[in-house]
Amino acid sequence: MRGGLLVAGTTSDAGKSVLTAGICRWLARQGVSVAPFKAQNMSNNSAVCLDPATGEGAEIGRAQAMQAAAAGVIPIPQMNPVLLKPGSDRSSQVVLLGRPFGQADALGYQELKATLLEHVLAAYDELRGRFDVVVCEGAGSPTEINLRRGDIANLGLARARELPTVVVGDIDRGGVFAAFHGTVALLEPADQALISGFIINRFRGDPALLDPALEMIHGLSGRPTLGVVPYLRDLWLDAEDSLSLDSAVPVPATQPLTDKQTPPLTVTVVRLPRVSNFTDVDALRLEPGVEVGFTTSPRGIAEADLVVLPGTKSTVADLQWLRERGIVEALLARHARGGAILGVCGGYQMLGLEIEDEDGVESAGGTVPGLGLLPVRTRFVAGKTLARPTGFGFGAAVATAYEIHHGQVEIRGGTPLFTDADGRALDGCVVGAVLGTLWHGALESDGFRSALLDWLGARAAGEGEACAEQSATDPRPRSGVEFAAAREAQFDRLADAVDAYVDTAALLRLIESGPTPGLALLPPGRDR
């Protein structure tokens, strides 16, 4: 089998990312070599992979790294050739094939698209040469008629490579059949000819109730509904959008809860306006003895066992937001009482003495004071650090970390959070109960996460600076939660849903044979 498929959506967050992951996993379980692809992604939630051509670190959307894991393949920058990282409401950093390419506002980016399309098609072609099947995820809706000219992520890509396209709609939001029909009808004929079917996502109830509507939309549009996927409760996968923070991550059903007499450890995460890599706390959200909440105010800062300042694409601007919201005052008061604080990447830089950005790499330039809780100074430089470091923290191995930052941190005191096997400093700074690191993803390492929670538990029990001892070669979690296994189970759950609720035979025909011939053309698009 060889071919490609585009999974488009009636809206953002219709379920394109998770269904793409599910299709990738389902194909991989059939023995098919498959890769994910998203031509253009807009997200501050990114991941670091290695560029096989150079051996250097490269940055792609975290959803594509997740989809690669679902497919059982190593992520490479070609899987997400264009990544837009918003730094404000009007401007984004453009990352091309894993490396910074420039800054662009909305209008300027439209002018770049002709150049970027060449790279997008070359990346897709390279994946087609490496894998049997490439499953492409669209961006937003394919019917953004004001942006269709120069489109590189949806039907611009599909037209260039004659990709059969299925459109996913979220029925839980309502209006899915109008959205299906309108998505097709507003497209010009050559685009309509690629839309070969629909998939309904997040359905609650008896599917038999939908049968009349499925027949009607088929008759009206000439296109079948290839699946009705139920609402998969408590689904947890790496997300692109910080809106996903509103959905709770479940405790795995196979894991025992903590003793009812033992209160849970509480973690408050500050939800910054330009939060990035918020998936850093997903592993904590999986722990049965941990309750994770998010705040945009001082609420929850004083009471939690741990407060996390996460990464951000706009460190200086978000630091000012913390001051305006009164969160800085709450953090300083917490520190005075000896409360634990963890800063990751941008959050770590905020905890330091000052942040210097004289060249305007990320902010308007100049030097601003930090919170002064850690003896570190940050200077922003044009070059971006992209790395996959390994080391040890709290005596436990860390093999899941990655770095994405322009800020270069100079440490002038404290003790390192992460070291090599011989105890030499690698990254981070610890002073009392304040911890900072540039390493994202460290909490996905089970041993380190367990050791950190033991440290927090000892503090909550009034044992002061007690720290868990754990062999540096022992990666096992004390809680019983294995992050990698929990993630794999989610991939299999998605693949099971695709197998059970999607017409996979029809999907395979589309992948192998291309768009369905002779599809009906709907007005008003057919008249264009």
Q: Which residues are catalytic?
A: 345, 440
CA distance 59 to 39: 14
In 64-120, beta strands by DSSP E = 82-86, 91-96, 99-105
The token duo for 2 is: 């060889």
**C-alpha span between 80 and 68 (Å, rounded):** 11
Measuring CA to CA, how many Å separate 358 from each of 99, 311, 380, 406, 492? Answer: 22, 21, 8, 13, 48
φ/ψ of residue 261, rounded to 5 = -80, -15
Quote the longest CA-to-CA distance of the chain. Answer: 75
How far from 216 is each of 18, 211, 502, CA to CA, in Å? 27, 9, 19
User: Would you say 128 and 122 are in contact if contact means Cβ atoms under 8 Å apart?
Assistant: no
Nearest to 345 by CA among 437, 247, 241: 437
Contact 109, 61 (CB under 8 A): no
481 in Cβ contact with 252 (< 8 Å):
yes
| DSSP line for 79-95 | GSSEEEEESSSSEEEEE
Distance of alpha carbon 276 from alpha carbon 59, whole angstroms: 13
Instruction: Give the distance from CA 186 to its chain's centroid.
Output: 31
**187 near 8, Cβ under 8 Å?**
no
Phi, psi of 493 (to 5 degrees): -60, -40
Q: 402 is written with which tokens?
A: 């990655």
Instruction: Say which DSSP state 402 is in.
Output: B
d(CA 481, CA 256): 10
The alpha carbon torsion through 74, 80, 85, 89 (nearest 10 deg) reads -140
Task: Give the pairing type, strands 403-411 and 133-137.
Answer: unpaired
Q: Are 27 and 69 in contact (CB under 8 A)?
A: no
Number of helices (H), then strands (E), belonging to the chain: the values are 14, 28
SS3 label, residue 332: helix
Q: Which of 232, 142, 144, 153 is nearest to 196 (CA)?
A: 142
* Closest listed residue to residue 67, CA positions, set 41, 96, 34: 34
